[in-house]
Structure 1
């Protein structure tokens, strides 16, 4: 497991400590989770859980139904 040293301004550190405490995590674990969220290649669980939440949400065909046909691009 790698280690990283970071330097924070006092105000930023104070906010980070409060956020970690609020989440009931150590500072290291809070920062690690934040980094994991930023580099994830998947949707966050909170977003995935919204799938199907709107029964009347239109599908892609409904959304595109009133769009006309695209014109051909000019050749360069």
Structure 2
């Protein structure tokens, strides 16, 4: 397991202390959980839960007009 050193001002340190205590975990675990949450490359579940919730939202194949024919390019 690797280690990291963080330099925090007093106010930020107090926030970390309070949040870790409120969640009943160590400060190290709380910081690691926050990093996992915000550095993930996935959509959050609450965003995924919105899929299909807007009945009047047009789907891409419903709202796209047919593409115009390509035009000739001017050579240089």
CA separation of 1:23 and 1:55: change in aligned 2, threshold 3 A: farther
Q: How many residues end up aligned between the 2 structures?
A: 75
2:35 aligned residue: 35
> How far is 1:75 from its partner?
6.7
TM-score (structure 1 length as normaliser): 0.65
Partner of 1:7 in structure 2? 7
Identify which of structures 1 and 2 has the higher relative contact order when contacts are C-alpha pairs closer than 8 Å and 6+ apart.
Answer: 2
Matches within 5 A, 1:53-68: 53-65=53-65
Structure exhibiting the larger radius of gyration computed from Cα positions: 2
Change (3 A) 1:46 1:11: same
Q: TM-score with structure 2 length normalisation?
A: 0.65
- Where does structure 2 lack aligned partners over 5 or more consecutive residues? none
Distance 2:32 2:21 in 1: 14
Kindly report structure 1 stretches of 4+ aligned residues shifted beyond 4 Å: 71-76
